Amino acid sequence: MASPPRKPTRPSQKRRLSKWRVFLLTGGSIMAVALIAVLIFVIYAVAKTPKWDPAALTNAKETSIVYDKDGQQIASLHANENRQMVKSSEIPDLIKRTFVAVEDKRFYSHYGVDPIRIIGSAINDIKSRSTKEGASTITIQLARNAFIEDPTSKSLTRKVQEVALALKIEHEYTKDEILTFYLNRIYFGESSFGIQAAAKTYFGKEIKDLTPEEAALLAGLPQAPSGYDPYVHPEAAKTRRTTVLGVMKDAGIITSDEYNKYKDTTFAYVDNMKKTRTTSQQATVAGSNFKFPYFVDYVIQELEGDDYKLTPDQIFNGGLRIYTTVDAKIQSAAEAAFADPANFPQSVDSTKVQGAMSVIDPTTGAVRAVVGGREYTTALGLNRATQSYRQPGSTIKPLVVYAPALEKGGFYPGTVLDDMPVSYNGGNGKTWAPVDFDTESAGWKGRITMRFALEDSVNVYAVKLMNLIGVDYGWKFGKDQMGLPLENNDRVLSLALGTAHVTTLDMASAYGTFANNGVRVTPHAIEQIKDANGKEIITPKITTERVMKETTAYLINNMLRSVVTNGTAYSAQIGNWAVAGKTGTTSLDPAKYGNKSGNPDAWFAGYTPNYVGVVWMGYDKDPDGNHYLRKVYGGSYPAQIWKKVMTAALQDQPVQTEFKQPAGITSGAIDTKSGLLPSSLTPSQFIQTEIAAQGNFPTQTSDAWVTKEIDADHPGFLAGDKTSNRVSKVFLNITDRGSYAPWPSDEAPYQPPAEYYKGGTDKPATSTTQTGDPRMPVPTLGPVAFDAAKGVASIPVSYPAGSEGLTLVLNVQYPGQDSYQSFTPEAQPGKSNIISIPLGADGKSPPSGQYTFKAILKDPKTQAISETSPVVKLNI
């Protein structure tokens, strides 16, 4: 019987792996590879760890050397004299507990690395999207400063090495020994290294005698020694100390009552040191070859700043070779100028009028000179050139008003605005009515061009122009394009008059953009840094950026050149050099000073194609309402210092008589009362040649002039129906000007009568005084300079077109006299533009008081005279 057929067997199937298992296997493989890579990296990094040398924990390192731009040594930086080592037994428990609470609260429980702090720091960094949080323990900080060649490096390799060294330190030493090493090494500012030196520097006492609030200040300093220095930044130091006191309270080191008691304590020892101007118990920052202290201070400031972030220990003990940009010739000339009392006005008492100056090379951004005061004082440590933020007055106008307007388009040096009374909403229901510095003495100027507004530093024009371009536009241009440190509260219309706060270095860098044809270069004092073995470790990152059109920069250069040749900076001329510049002063706050006349600040910003220099002058403080400048303007003492320094800087260099003109500049005749093309009615004295960027020169003809018929027998009236003797005359066609201010002298002859003659007995007024012919050109006098030794006043004068063949007559009103005396000076059109006039008789000193000067031009043939120039004054 046949057996039944067997069922076919199914072919064997391979077991399929689940997707989850594939994922786990793949992920595990990747993690394994990653862990192996990390392990290899860690092994590599540890292998490269600097050689273990226990002596490095206690020994000071090699002195750092600073060089000028030519490689000549100017300073040696060290702190050996002030590194006062102390034993652990000499450090009070208060100090140890406070520093641990502030710097590393789990110091006694971790083994050199704090995992909790690392995780917390990482979380905070992720939340804030930054890398500001630090996770370094006291041991890691000690390892970094003692062993790492470049402690500013942010590489992962360095981090691994720090951890390895920290673990080694923890293995070799007790916690108390590690803390002692740390407290003996760290930098506390004011050239003080170690807790003992710091105690003497800030409190004049031994560490064993420190009180809790004093310990709090010292524990807060290592985070930012310069920023929290009570000698320089007392308010910041107090705020930081209060924060540390809070940490001490939370850690149970002090009670709540003690916290409230200590948080408002004054810095008595520091205040006394500042008053007596003696040096505290601190070391000299430099060795015997110490030149240019203000510049060296700035170099240290730059090294500690955000760009380099070098530790003070590395700067002073790292054996660095620091190559700087300082030009010994320029720096020496600047220091000599500031040391000469003749370059400063007489003070009201023993408190000196101070000053500062910065000089840069605009093409490279190299800082060539820095002077932060009249004498260098290590106890105060104030470098006014880089740390004193003052209001710049009118020197800011080209940076936030004129350059932005030209860059925006639609404006040019011939743009006309009306210098007449105007008011704006000042907030809080108040109005703000800007005036010019000479409105009271010289009156309003009427319709003027941008060029004249810059030459004469006209405030109202600048405010009106900023209002036209927009405050936000001018503010953003000054901040982003010119690099000024403007704040949000500077975003106001008064910014046009310089109400922001800047340093001389800020202004020098900004003006350098004009001198460099619209290209801004990062200002810097450091060219290169090498280690003790000559290996380059840092090269500055210098950025070069075009921030405005070449045509904009040239137009500003050309107009600021006019400020020096014809305007308020006349005294800054240097031979045939192309010199451009701007003066500036600030005003006394009437809320504090009432009607007093004076100014807190005087500035001069000047430049040639080679160098830019900015000078500030004023008192540091005015605690009693009496420490301010009297009759000191940017064109006087500041320009005098600038000229002396720049004359030395430019010595032996080929003279450059012009700023290079780029393509895209056009020129032509304009009507200076409209800013448009002259019409057939435009009087010749109101026609001048002006330049503009292509596309911004006017194409329309002036509508500023009209003809009207007047009554010839009654010239103060328009011709009416009963007028029999009519004459046609040209007048200014101004309809948008209020009647509450008199028209300026050059426009008054062209002011049309307001009424028609209706008959009657009206007759023209008569006068025995000869009136000026409005058709004749009017001279302009510049600021008066006085040579006390010779008793001679010097006055620059500018002659408008058409002055040839006319005679200049100077009228002088002496102190105590009501009338003027007339003189015909040697300075005449075509011969000289500097009037020299002795004010004393028979070689005697001139009487003290106020002298007033004005001038006219006279036609020697017809004896006709011009309108009188605006007056200028001199106080002796």
User: Nearest 5°: phi and psi at 603?
Assistant: -130, 150
Asked if 605 contacts 508 with a C-beta cutoff of 8 angstroms, the reply is yes
Alpha carbon distance 732, 31 (integer Å) = 87
| Nearest partner of 219 among 96, 127, 362, judged by Cα | 96
Q: Give the length of the chain.
A: 876
Asked if 617 contacts 637 with a C-beta cutoff of 8 angstroms, the reply is yes
Alpha carbon distance 70, 482 (integer Å) = 29
User: Nearest 5°: phi and psi at 24?
Assistant: -65, -40
Asked if 632 contacts 348 with a C-beta cutoff of 8 angstroms, the reply is no
Q: In b/e form, how buried is each residue of 825-855, taking b as 16+ CB within 10 angstroms?
A: bebbbeeebebebebeeeeeebeeeebbbbb
What are the structure tokens assigned to 241, written together?
Answer: 């100390």
Q: In which residue are the tokens 């005679």 written?
A: 807
Q: In which residue are the tokens 């002039």 written?
A: 705
Alpha carbon distance 789, 775 (integer Å) = 41
Alpha carbon distance 369, 371 (integer Å) = 7
* Active-site residue, selected from the candidate residues 136, 394, 509, 587: 394
Helix (H, G, I), strand (E, B) or coil at 75: strand
What are the structure tokens assigned to 257, written together?
Answer: 């009552």
Chain-centre distance for alpha carbon 565: 25
Residue type, 732: L
Alpha carbon distance 36, 29 (integer Å) = 11
Alpha carbon distance 856, 863 (integer Å) = 12
Helix (H, G, I), strand (E, B) or coil at 636: coil
Q: Alpha-carbon torsion 845, 847, 849, 852, what sign?
A: negative
- Active-site residue flag, 394: yes
Helix (H, G, I), strand (E, B) or coil at 19: helix
Alpha carbon distance 474, 467 (integer Å) = 9
Residue type, 639: A
What are the residues whose beta carbons fall under 8 Å from the beta carbon of 353, sequence distance 6 or more? Answer: 344, 345, 347, 617, 618, 619, 629, 632
For the beta carbon of residue 209, count every other beta carbon within 10 angstroms: 11
* Active-site residue, selected from the candidate residues 103, 302, 335, 550: 103
Alpha carbon distance 869, 779 (integer Å) = 6
DSSP symbol at 551: H
Helix pair angle (195-203, 268-276), 10° resolution: 70
Asked if 509 contacts 399 with a C-beta cutoff of 8 angstroms, the reply is no
Q: Alpha-carbon torsion 735, 736, 740, 741, what sign?
A: negative
Residues marked active site are found at: 103, 394
